[in-house]
Homo-oligomer: A and B are copies of this chain.
Amino acid sequence: MPVGNIAPPQTIYVIDGVRLGITAAGVRYQNRDDVVLIEIGEGATTAAVTTSNAFCAAPVQILRRHIEQSQPRYLIINTGNANAATGSDGLARAQKVCEALAEQFGVAPEAVLPYSTGVIGEALNYQAIIDGLSAANQDLSADNWSRAAKGICTTDTVIKLDSSEVVTEDGQRYHITGISKGAGMIRPNMATMLGFVATDANIAKPLLDKMLLSLTEASFNRITVDGDTSTNDCCTLIATGRASGLVIDSEQHPHYEALFGALKSVFVRLAQLIVRDGEGATKFITVRVIGGASTQECCDVAYAVAHSPLVKTAFFASDPNWGRILAAVGYAGVTDLDSSQVNVALDEVMICERGGLASGYTESEGQRVMSRPEICIEIDLGRGSFSDTVYTCDLSYDYVKINADYRS
């Protein structure tokens, strides 16, 4: 069961210039939506960030090349097969999908970006995807965000969708709608498994690239379920430009701040939804590290805590076994960390002061906080003014069950 509020927003804004079509192409399973086609109108700009995994999948390799060469017009996404660790044959299969789509839709193959997610190391049934293109085409609609969010799911138990409207001080309205997927093999490094966000703002490509890096750093690059960085991570940001003729081309633009803030809120929400639906998750945990000498060391500490199987099982058990948190802080590799300066709190309850048990702490207080479904661990390193935050979930029987019982 996913943790906390995972409901999509009441209003899902259409993004003028983006249409989505979904079909059950039978890539791996029958009668299950597994191919999503996203059409991007002319005049849009698009940015993508991809996995840092050296075994990056064939579609990721092609995507990187295509987005350099052309403004994308179609994104084609399949589940059921990641087309990763498939060598040159995998590249050829992904390329065949792009070419068939390009021919059918009258664009250059470079204007097509492929995305795959699913099992690693098996040959992609590309013919099934190609055969499904015309059904996906017929299904294209600006209203299809929810069905697309479902169509890109694998072990996800809920759809991940967020949407918002932002009104700038001078009255310009922009809309943002995005979807993401992922529940396991989650420790994105550049981007998450799959994320697609579109806005009708008009954003110059160089700025869009820069914004996407910054947005993913604060969202998809700050979540972890199991510490496994996927071969297929990819996050794409589309700016259709239909809301206004006004091009936003610098951080000094009067609309930039409001728009960036709204985008960040959607990105963080989509990233957190992945953790809330983390495989086997029963708790949503925010690891906030403050008082660091650098952002990097705060990030390192936060990830050490967020990855520790002992910390994660303690949270599953609602056991305020805070020594495990301290042990993880201690092995995070912070140079010359003075443990006697470290404070740790669980929500409003201080558990560790100056490296030892906090005065006034009681086990029942700890127990009370640990039984909550959403908990913030705040770690003060007591050596500077930098901070960072990572989102994770607990480690439960069901994580093992999901990953031991099924080939995902």
Q: A residues within 8 Å of B by Cβ?
A: 52-56, 82, 84-90, 119-123, 184-185, 187, 189, 226-231, 307-310, 313-314, 316-317, 319, 321-324, 326-332, 334, 337-340, 342, 352, 354-357, 395-397, 399-401, 403-405, 407
Contacts and interface: CB of A to CB of B under 8 A. Distances in A.
B84 A323 contact: yes
Contacts of A120: 321-324, 326-327
Contacts of A323: 82, 84-85, 119-121, 231
Contact of A317 (B123, B184, B319, B405): B405
Contact of A54 (B89, B334, B352, B401): B334
Contacts of A352: 85, 121
B395 A330 contact: no
A115 B334 CA distance: 25
A309 B89 contact: no
A326 B403 CA distance: 16
Nearest to A336: B54
Contacts of A329: 54-55
A231 B326 contact: yes
Given A85-B352, A185-B310, A321-B407, A231 B330 contact: yes
Nearest to A52: B331
A46 to B, nearest CB: 25
- 9 tightest CB-CB pairs across the interface, nearest first? A120-B323, A87-B356, A55-B330, A317-B404, A313-B403, A229-B331, A121-B323, A53-B330, A54-B337
A359 B124 CA distance: 17
A370 to B, nearest CB: 12
Given A121-B352, A121-B357, A184-B310, 13 more contacts: A53-B327, A53-B331, A56-B339, A120-B321, A121-B323, A227-B307, A228-B327, A230-B327, A313-B399, A317-B404, A319-B404, A395-B400, A396-B404
A309 B54 contact: no
Nearest to A123: B357
Q: Please give the count of copies of this chain that the complex contains.
A: 2
Given A54-B334, A340-B87, A356-B90, A397 B403 contact: no
B307 A87 contact: no
5 contacts: A55-B355, A87-B354, A121-B357, A228-B309, A317-B405
A319 B401 CA distance: 13
A280 B400 CA distance: 12
Nearest to A405: B317
A84 B326 CA distance: 9
A229 B121 contact: no
A363 to B, nearest CB: 10
B229 A309 contact: no
A334 B229 CA distance: 14
Contacts of A407: 319, 321
A340 B355 CA distance: 47
A324 B120 CA distance: 7
B400 A400 contact: yes
Contacts of A401: 397
Contacts of A123: 357
Contacts of A332: 54
Given A54-B334, A55-B326, A331-B229, A356 B86 contact: yes
A265 B229 CA distance: 36
Given A54-B329, A339-B54, A85 B400 contact: no
Contacts of A319: 404, 407
A310 B403 CA distance: 7
Nearest to A318: B404
A226 B189 CA distance: 22
A121 B326 contact: yes
B227 A309 contact: yes
Nearest to A396: B400
A226 B309 contact: yes
